[in-house]
Amino acid sequence: MKIGHIELANRLFVAPMAGVTDRPFRQLCKRLGAGYAVSEMITSRKELWNTLKTSRRANHEGEVNPIAVQIAGTDAHMMAEAAAYNIDRGAQIIDINMGCPAKKVCNKWAGSALMQDEPLALDIIEAVVAACAPHNVPVTLKMRTGWCHAERNAVRIARAAESAGVAMVAVHGRTREQGYKGEAEYDTVAAVKAALTVPVVANGDITSPEKAHEVMRVSGADAVMIGRAAQGRPWIFREVAHYLETGQHLPEPEVLQAKAWLLEHLHDHYGLYGEHAGVRSARKHIGWAVRALPGGEAFRAEMNLLETVDTQVRAVTDWFDQLADTHHFLPSTLVEVDQIAERA
């Protein structure tokens, strides 16, 4: 599969999740089977580009290609400038956020709120494509099925976006109004796929290899994008890849292997955020990794009190070593759709 001229390793995408899919997490997902990962959104507000948060998000040192950066905003000129800024910092693909329902974004009329204002959405798309074209950087669009149930305009926006030069569209099978409630539907994804010639990616509630296979079948999508089900379980990508290739399930990872992946993630995480911020923001990743395991909730509560890299790493190491005394393979941690809703 290709995005514009850029060839991807496979059809398994990591969904952008602000506060989650930072560079260390994306790297790990790519190492464990994802073919593509988009950065957390970067605001188009210039005054925030020098903040620690945005400069960390725009730092792609050592990232496996292709480097795809998502931008969010409400003004076509500012979005074009944001695209150029991120291309200067290594972005090879620019993704426009028209899918995120977060209040912080939507209050400023960005993210999925843009789906309610089609002329503005199109102005933004055209301006970003024009800014990226001289650099040969493809532009992609991440959207929902529409604003609300009665106004599911994904097909119309996707068609206009393709005509404006967008090279790929990802669709989360919910409306803006739904937030993360209810279940994702894939009929609208199928309708978008049928209407476009550029690749279409299906997203929403994909929690297992079977579900990935089924969503690809019913939607005809070229790829699937997985978000919440990868939290604490980044190896879901290789499980899905193996199942799509062979129809067989991989066994759960060995406990000691899962420990090694988590420690690798933590060290990369501390490297990006430093000790003080890193230990705190690592807690959620550790929590996701252990929450479905025996004794995981109790461990999470204790681990959340630790404040240094040394104590956090030691606690994680000891906890997994103890689990390995009784379990060779990780007890199954595949999550159900209703559990995943809690993670939004």
Ligand X SMILES: Cc1cc2nc3c(=O)[nH]c(=O)nc-3n(C[C@H](O)[C@H](O)[C@H](O)COP(=O)(O)O)c2cc1C
Task: Select the residue whose beta carbon is closest to ligand X and give its number.
Answer: 227
Q: Does 203 bind ligand X (CB under 6 A)?
A: yes
Write down the catalytic residue from 100, 106, 132, 148: 100
Binding mask 133-152 for ligand X (x = CB under 6 A): ---------x----------
Catalytic residue status for 29: no
Would you call 67 helix, strand, or coil by DSSP? coil
Q: Does 204 bind ligand X (CB under 6 A)?
A: yes
Q: How far is the CB of 238 from ligand X (least distance, A)?
A: 17
Q: How far is the CB of 3 from ligand X (least distance, A)?
A: 16
Compute the distance between CA of residue 39 and CA of residue 85 in angstroms, rounded to an integer. Answer: 14
Compute the distance between CA of residue 226 and CA of residue 16 in angstroms, rounded to an integer. Answer: 9
Binder among 133, 194, 301, 344 for ligand X (CB under 6 A): 344
Q: Does 114 bind ligand X (CB under 6 A)?
A: no
Residues in CB range of 38: below 8 A, 6 or more apart:
13, 14, 15, 16, 21, 68, 69, 70, 93, 95, 142
Residues in CB range of 222: below 8 A, 6 or more apart:
1, 11, 193, 199, 200, 201
Of residues 47 and 342, the one with the C-beta less far from ligand X: 342
Q: How far is the CB of 275 from ligand X (least distance, A)?
A: 24
Q: How far is the CB of 236 from ligand X (least distance, A)?
A: 10
Of residues 100 and 137, the one with the C-beta less far from ligand X: 100
Q: How far is the CB of 332 from ligand X (least distance, A)?
A: 19
Q: Does 41 bind ligand X (CB under 6 A)?
A: yes
DSSP conformation class of 228: G
Of residues 286 and 309, the one with the C-beta less far from ligand X: 286
User: Backbone phi, then psi, for 313, in 5-degree steps?
Assistant: -65, -40
Whether the upstream peptide bond of residue 66 has omega within 30° of 0, thus cis, is yes
Q: 302 burial class (0-12, 13-18, 19+ CB within 10 angstroms)? A: exposed
Of residues 287 and 319, the one with the C-beta less far from ligand X: 287
Q: Does 226 bind ligand X (CB under 6 A)?
A: yes
Residues that bind ligand X (CB under 6 A): 15-20, 40-41, 70, 97, 99-100, 142, 172, 203-206, 226-229, 343-344
- Catalytic residue numbers read 100
